[in-house]
Amino acid sequence: MFSVDQKRKISEAVQKVLRDTNHPELPEGDISFSLHVDGKESWSWDDIQNNGAVLNPSVNLYNEIVSVDQKLKEKQGDPIEPPVDVYIGQQITTNEHAEVIFQGLDHHMGQITARLQGVTYPGTYYPFPEKIESQGFVLHDRTK
């Protein structure tokens, strides 16, 4: 859910909050902790530990890309928009300024593609879901 950089910042903030309690039972130096964060979807979650406990952080490329995109938007002064949930039958506008209707996800020979019905440009399109999701959409293979 979070990038490595975001996890490090969260870990530093938690470390500071714990240290600021001045609790006598806390150890000197790095305080060991584990934080579980649930996202709004069942597949969206993350575990964050104190920085000292993570010697070789695992990297989720999608989370890193989202983090970089957020930093660019902040730098450009653009508002950061949360992902938009898209359900079967819903119409969206892609980055190519094309109106399409999401018709579901197709599974064929180990590949997953999104089935989009063109409104602006008639036809059926089958992009990989990552292409659509990289534009700020979360595809749900069900009706709302």
- Is 19 in contact with 32 (CB distance < 8 Å)? no
Which of 66, 61, 71 lies closest to 136 in space, CA to CA? 66
Mean pLDDT, range 13-37, rounded to an integer: 93
Which amino acid makes up residue 117? Q
Q: At what angle do helices 4-20 and 61-76 cross, to 10 degrees?
A: 80
Predicted pLDDT at 56: 65
Chain centroid, CA 99 distance in Å: 24
Predicted pLDDT at 61: 55
Domain ranges in the chain are 4-76, 84-140
**With 60 as the cut, is the pLDDT of residue 112 above it?**
yes
- Is 9 in contact with 70 (CB distance < 8 Å)? no
Name the strand (E) or helix (H) holding 14.
helix 4-20
Predicted pLDDT at 23: 95
Predicted pLDDT at 17: 95
Mean pLDDT, range 24-52, rounded to an integer: 89
pLDDT in tens, 54-85: 666 665 555 556 666 666 666 666 555 668 88
Predicted pLDDT at 67: 62
- Is 115 in contact with 107 (CB distance < 8 Å)? no
- Of the chain, the percentage scoring pLDDT greater than 70 comes to 80
Of 15-29, 32-46, 76-90, 104-118, the range with the highest mean pLDDT is 15-29
Q: pTM higher than 0.85, yes or no?
A: no
Q: What is the mean pLDDT of the chain?
A: 82
Mean pLDDT, range 112-129, rounded to an integer: 88
